[in-house]
Amino acid sequence: MNNITIQEAAAPVTPTALKERTFSIDVLRGMALLGILMANIEVFGTPTAMHAIPIGMPIPAFEGPHRWIHVVILTLKWIVIEGKMRGLFSLLFGAGVMLMTSRAERRGIDGGRIAETFMRRNLWLMLFGLLHCCLIWDGDILLYYGMIALLFLYPCRKLKPKTLLVAGTLIGLTFGTFSFLNFLGAPRDIYLDKQVTAISAAQHAGKTITDQDKQVLKAWDERMKSRVITRDGPQEAIAEATKDYFSAMGDRLQIYLGPIAGAYLFLNIADEVGMMLIGMGLYQLGFLSAAKPYATYAWTAAAGLLCSVPLYLLGMWQVVKSGFDFLTIEKWLFIPYYLTREMSTLAIVSLALLVVKSGRFGRLQRGLAAVGKTALSNYLMTSLICQFVFVWGPWQLYGKLEYYQLHYVVFGVWAVNLIASPLWLRAFQFGPMEWVWRSLTYRKAQAMRLHQVAA
């Protein structure tokens, strides 16, 4: 017995075999991968003046005959997509950390070997992310995922599920909310607005304003000017986005190496680490493997939707009524962002797992699972396709489509993902980038073709 234990401890960490994959997690990962494109399509395809709100587009979204179509699309995206798919992807990344490390620990592999493999795996992921940002698109998340895994997730893997769930929730609601609002400048906007309102009331009452009041009014005037969408603004953004490849590559590098690098790092860690910890806790509880009773998922979905959907509808109604005033957007959509995101993400996960448990829509489930198994390859391929469609290719559609038309591109890319992934997996057990990542992680070329695995 002791000899077997010693041999197992000395054994190398090996990649997860096909038979060890969890179908429900692959389905969720595929769903998240497709949903992230829906959330990111404005960033790929058009300049906008505000996060996740299509104001400041070259073809105004909320004027003209398609105004209400755009309002409906935007509302549905805030309920189902915005923040939720990114949150789901983070949640599943945390679950993946638990899957890899717990599987190796069950085999009795030495902790030092596990840590070494884990570090190698995530350092390679960070390099992929850096290359993705510099060479393809500046909206990368891979570098931050690898960094968070090394700094936070590996040390936290031994925590109890309840501790992980509570910690993840609190981090999202506090650290996440603070960093997001601070990055957008919302606290300063709201504070200045209150000061300006008080000064205006004093002026109407015939009081003389002080030098300090004048400074406040000047700061508010500058802030308002920065929010004004000029006629030339979108065209300048289009010229910036479509300039030559190497100049754009230098600009993308600034995200990681320039003066804004610290702000982006802080924002992404705050945005992702909470959901990753929640994912680790849910994995330990068996929630993500669809192992819980139907009632558990039904009640979770109902509670999450009943709490989040009314807030989204009320917030969007206030925003539309205000004419998409930036302060109204900050107050009604951005301040409760992480509260509604956490509730609705868990609701969407629960609804998806109910479908998985039911066995319905089997062909769609298998297609999503195939996308999930090849998520890294699909993630990078999606960036390449979108950059070709909007910037690099002969069409150069960046800034030329209406808001609703951007989503035709989404559906086209989804079709590629859902068709190409199952076809690829008929012959291979990994996606091409998954094979590269695994081979580098385990320092050995992995068997790629299915017949090699069977042999």
Q: How far is CA 183 from CA 175, 220, 281, 334, 430, in A?
A: 12, 18, 28, 11, 38
Dihedral angle sign, alpha carbons of residues 57, 58, 61, 63 = positive
Decide if pLDDT at 227 tops 80: no
The neighbour count for residue 164, using CB atoms within 10 Å, is 26
Mean pLDDT of 272-282: 98
Which residues are within 8 A (CB) of 299 and not within 5 positions of it... i.e. 6 or more apart? Answer: none
**pLDDT computed for residue 170 by the predictor:** 97
Per-residue pLDDT tens over the stretch 310-359: 999 999 999 999 999 999 999 999 999 999 999 999 999 999 999 999 99
Domain boundaries, the chain: 1-45+361-455, 84-289
Which residues are within 8 A (CB) of 354 and not within 5 positions of it... i.e. 6 or more apart? Answer: 294, 297, 298, 301
Per-residue pLDDT tens over the stretch 72-97: 999 999 999 999 999 999 999 999 99
For the entire predicted model, the pTM comes to 0.92
Mean pLDDT of 52-65: 94
Mean pLDDT of 285-289: 95
Residue 396 to residue 422: CA distance in whole angstroms = 30
**pLDDT computed for residue 262 by the predictor:** 83
